[in-house]
Amino acid sequence: MNYTQLVANIQNFLEDDSSELQTSIDEIIDQAEVMIFQRLPNLPCYRKTVTGNMVAGTADYTVPSARMIRQVSVISSNVASYLNHKVDSYIRDYWPNATTQGAPIMYSTKNAGIAGTVVTFAPTPDSTDPYQVDYIAPEEGLSSSNANNWIGDNAENVLLAACLYEASAFLKAGETLALYKTQFDEAVQLTVQEMQRDYAAEYNGGL
């Protein structure tokens, strides 16, 4: 379901072509996509990767746009080693002198801001070996300048139900609000089941 189809479906399902709804549809779609991300953060479209090279003596690295860090690995002599995830206080206690350098074995999520999420390596890197951060972030939302995305193409039942739910709240339509909340919840559960099958190996999962 592309952007144009989604807009038409929202208006048709709710039988409302008012100017108030039309001018708010983009915001309704945006809020619906935010809700989907918060309910289904493990969808494959949200999984992203960034790579770089460590800087000797630098412990903090910013991952642009990251909302959640999945895992961090460091590549040394073509061998990837995954770092253990620890809380920030543990990192400071384990490696109190950040000027002392060594091969990183753990990381923490330090903070997040407009620039992205900051992760801290410990020990403070002593090399320029490559690193890779696998993270989760929203995909580009549907709009007049972005007609298609993964959610619209692969989970249109979730997207449409979420948009109708948000639009019903906007219109203060109690009956359709309850209806589309139920439809959205059911669509989310079906998608969770699909993701569980998608991320499980048939060989040892008994599926």
Regarding beta strands 106-113 and 68-76, do their DSSP bridges make them parallel or antiparallel, or are they unpaired? Answer: unpaired
Q: Is the pTM of this model over 0.75?
A: yes
SS3 118: strand
- CA separation for the pair 90, 98 (Å, rounded): 13
pLDDT in tens, the chain (207 residues): 999 999 999 999 999 889 999 999 999 999 999 999 999 999 999 999 999 999 999 999 999 999 999 999 999 999 999 999 999 999 999 999 999 999 999 999 999 988 899 999 999 999 999 999 999 999 999 999 999 999 999 999 999 999 999 999 999 998 899 999 999 999 999 999 888 887 777 776 655
Regarding beta strands 106-113 and 84-85, do their DSSP bridges make them parallel or antiparallel, or are they unpaired? Answer: parallel
